[in-house]
């Protein structure tokens, strides 16, 4: 099962790509574990996980149609 992960702001700068496609991830905790393993510097950046354009704060199951985004902190202006 492929999951598309969209990356924005400092997270995109850190990974040097706007998106990733990852395989065989059952849930968002597994996604975070894989990303922190591949990109250890992510552990120092605050970010929000969005699933289907909705911010989530708890472990959530993923499906083949899931589109996940990692969003850095926003500031108004």
* Confidence (pLDDT) at 17: 95
Does residue 45 form part of some domain?
yes
Choose between 40 and 64: higher pLDDT: 40
Q: What is the CATH number of the domain that holds 6?
A: 3.10.20.30
Domain span at residue 37 reads: 2-71
* pLDDT tens figures, 3-55: 999 999 999 999 999 999 999 899 999 999 999 999 999 999 999 999 988 99
Does residue 55 form part of some domain?
yes
* Confidence (pLDDT) at 65: 83
- Contact 23/4 with Cβ under 8 angstroms? no
Alpha-carbon distances of 43 from 33, 52, 57, 63, rounded to whole Å: 10, 23, 16, 25
Find the farthest-apart pair of alpha carbons in the chain and give their distance in angstroms, rounded. Answer: 39
Q: How many separate domains does the chain show?
A: 1
Choose between 77 and 23: higher pLDDT: 23
């Amino acid at each position: 099962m492929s999951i598309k992960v969209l990356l924005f702001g400092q997270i995109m700068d850190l990974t040097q790509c706007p998106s990733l496609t990852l395989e065989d991830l059952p849930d968002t905790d597994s996604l975070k574990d894989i990303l922190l393993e591949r990109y250890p510097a992510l552990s120092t950046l605050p970010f929000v996980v969005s699933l289907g354009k909705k911010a989530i704060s708890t472990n959530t199951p993923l499906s083949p149609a899931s589109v996940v985004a990692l969003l850095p902190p926003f500031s108004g202006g």
